[in-house]
Structure 1
């Protein structure tokens, strides 16, 4: 039975300017371990406190129904769920409100279980008495059976608080992990971690990967600690590991360890056992070369890149200096090329350092196989490589070799069973015309490589004025202005598919630019340029016009697809945008539902008042708005409730890691659940494999978009894919 009866004032709460009115004899039940005594009941109400749910259940039929039941969940989720549905199925308790208290993580898991349940709200167990009083006042102010708690501000604030903590924690954890990995990569020695139970490889810095793992195993390392420590007898090693587990801090010795190439080399090896509150622990092996025992190895390590085995910057400069000396003595000329990989950061972000390192090794091997027998291939650092065409040769011969390398790089590279295509930006110099010494030649080659990357040109030969002007941005701005009207821009469309029936329900319009002389220019680059140059208005309106015209073609062909166009913060401040959109739709006899606009949270927050006014006006006309990249900005469902948002697109950073350990599953699940309760459709961006599709199906996500379905393609190619079935390959 209940343990305490309190009959003093609970809360003087005010709604719409007047004090709450209490009905004589009304009761409030409180269940669980929360310090309910800190709350005193409102005048005219009685607070009954029960030790557990069975006691509360027993009391329900024996008196007037309570006005409010407050439950401290505290680990009894199943019982609470049963209790809630029992209360809601009892017509005698139709006017009873429910308030559940739980920890933040538990609240996120609880809320989806009560989807569609009326007159229920939630609070964080750690809330102060004052906040809890306010929550109770809010509930008691709501007319029973009419309280929209699924969309209530207080409930949304709970979700926003939890999601904000999870998202920020995820960002901080990833940043801290990246910093730790970068620090370990900078250490001179190898550091590797192994699972406590299986002794399998868990993590290694770049030095450890290069030292211990064969190139073909670096993506999926399966090496076991005992293989590296084969110098120990199995019984002795097992005893040593057990001693580490039981508390010995570390073991240190000079031993001959097994290396990736099968040989052994003496290493100063240290083995540690590390543990924390979140795991059983790991074994950490750290090693350093024993220089005294292997003086002959030092020149190789000093002059070669540890990861790829290629000559490093120091050795390259030494060889360039020798080539300069040879030309001065015997005449002739030679060339030098510096190469920077395009989108290498994206590879690292998607596959981690192991995937990035695998790509670097593959590129190094390709360059070595493509370059001439007497040419020197070097890795300068990060994703920068160089080739010294050392034999005396003219400019034409150098350019021919550079072109051969560029052609060879057009092959596909394999990372974690995935095929990738990468580009490269190359800068070429020629001695003696482009520099007098090795340092100047290398610097000029790097400048040319930078310009090739910036301008999307592929290959650039150094010219003296480049060092002074570093190229003229005004030219590119003029070219973009011309491209908007001159037919150089075109649009590719990426389809969005509804999971429930696998039907294509819309497409996103994505602008592309192929410059007549510079080739393909990445969208991020020219869109940023348009923003800086004041061309974003003209660019966006060109895209809208093209999208509307294409939507009309599809509709005429019996395929009424909605086309989504991205707006920037500046577009939301254009007073004549609404009129332009209405005119374009009228020109092609299209309804407003044929067009959708995508905006980011940061675009809204740049000028909320103007953004909201623009959204309201266009929404009133019948055009839907979607919030793009949700989770990377403000991330507030409560705030979005104030806007006329029809669709929410979860950022691909959360979707790509959905099947991994971490908070991404909780964040995505909570976002989908609460968005649905607000009547907002949810799109998952960046879906690239069947497993992610299946998880999103279970989580009741509405629509997916990503490479699993289709890359952005031309209208013609999209028509062909639609004809044969966009999702025919998906199980």
Structure 2
């Protein structure tokens, strides 16, 4: 360790050390000459003192230095140094040449050892500051660069961008681990071509890069980042196959470094997290972002405790058969009553859970509560299926179908008691896997409903392959159907499509009697919304249902 630090120090101060060492070694050799001469000549053992400057020369200047100073030492103690000063007897030529050869050999070996150690340490230093696969500098090099900027107190505009690759696991499983390295290298080449300033690209993680740019004067940051995002959206060729890497960026700008370098990296990382949460290509760090990220992490941590402490509960919103007025089923909606913060809206904590593995526990809790509620309501003469929302992560989990079957069996229920609501977005994550899982569950008579129908992008091409019982037309079309003819046309087309495929249509977001009448005119099957009822606790729903005797007429009385 001491030797390593010594060589590192010498490398950093190489020029100054060498300027000092040349006269020092020459003086030292002169002192050895004087010592040998004053002690009587070459026949005495003091001539071996010349090995000291020769070894030092090899250590400091490598093989060439060792050779030169070895030769010089041989000459100093050679033809100019007598064997015996008192008798003035001089050395034979073969004698001092032989000694000179040894000096040269020792200097050469000393230099070779020094060069070997230096070369090894340079490799270690290179590996400590670079990624061996892509040859790009790594996070250590980035931190060193930021420290250098801070020490220089350079006055310029700087941009730090953290770039992360989405779907990396899918890419590696499909194409092998080399695909990540290739995309990183291609990305770095693209970024270097368009950067409007002094750009350095760093590979800070297996699936991440950092861009540090000293901006040219007058460059607009938003314009530059958009250009970086634009080239990252282009396909990356790999083995003649075009690949989309789904690169996201979080970035921070600064002029003078007033904080530690790590702080700026954390800020860019925080912006990156928000970019993923908001499904954006790039997000700039702002004052509220770190607080948002911290709050989200805190919320996830508290949600684990909420599951164990009974803070989560299910509320139920009824769905009505428009033609008959009968209560058709209910949708289970999760509620969180926090002991300090009160009721936390589902649109706050559910999206966070969906971005983590916690969604599996959340969904299992919802399924357990819903099926238990089916059993309890049956004791009061209420026999209704309950719909539970399912996330994309649930469908991708290999044990999900078995989990659903086990929960049904545990409560002594058949598949008819459960409806699973799946969004179009969830289907698009992995269509083949979604079809496989939903087909398996449909075989047990579990109903499948496509939620938020009409807001997806490409599910129509797979719709006929899915074992769907219902489509839920998104409430944005339902609410706007009277005021906006285009929304009305979409609503009508969705209902017609469902019926032609033998699927029932559910309109959600029904809040107006006139809308309900329109739905009846269009032969929509089922309605759900505040006109019928807001989500109710299990006990309140029981009272509501029994008071209406299981019927609700939502359209205008003719």
More strand by share: 1
Normalised TM-score (structure 2): 0.46
TM normalised by structure 1 equals 0.35
The structure having more radius of gyration, on CA atoms, is: 2
Query: Which one scores higher on RCO, CA 8 angstroms, separation ≥ 6?
Result: 2
